[in-house]
Amino acid sequence: MSESEPGIIQLQAEAQEAARFSYSPYSRFRVGSALLGASGRIYRGTNVENRSLGVTNCAERTAFFTALTNGEKEFVAIAVFSPDSDVPLSPCGACRQVISEFVSPEFPIYFSGKDGKFIRAELKDMFPFDTLHDLASR
């Protein structure tokens, strides 16, 4: 899918909408994500903080866990958005690790900051030394 396709445009809009539901009373840093399953269904996620920051859950992981809980096992793309970031906000290391568990290295990730301009990257660009996929391809 290209960035201009209706499905990707909708995915980006869903990520922006998901950020509205962020539970971020400590950082006040809202993040939303939207994950497109192979079924065509979109699963939203938002960051959910806790006063013990180590148990905070990111928007991307929330979307994946919601999709998996609903039986979705194949994924097409994810969009991540923060209205509180001056720069495009890519997934953190923990989220990249979770994403790599369920998708191929070519999985597209769209991410944006408050300007709403999404950048497209593939997981392999953000997670270049994914040993599991590297070994499987040999």
* Angle between helices 59-69 and 6-19 in degrees, nearest 10: 110
Residue 17: active-site member? no
Q: Which of 14, 49, 60, 72 is catalytic?
A: 60
78-96 burial, b at 16+ Cβ within 10 Å, e below that, comes to: bbbbbbebeebbbbeeebb
63, 100, 108, 109, 132 from 121: Cα distances, Å: 18, 14, 6, 5, 20
Active site residues: 60
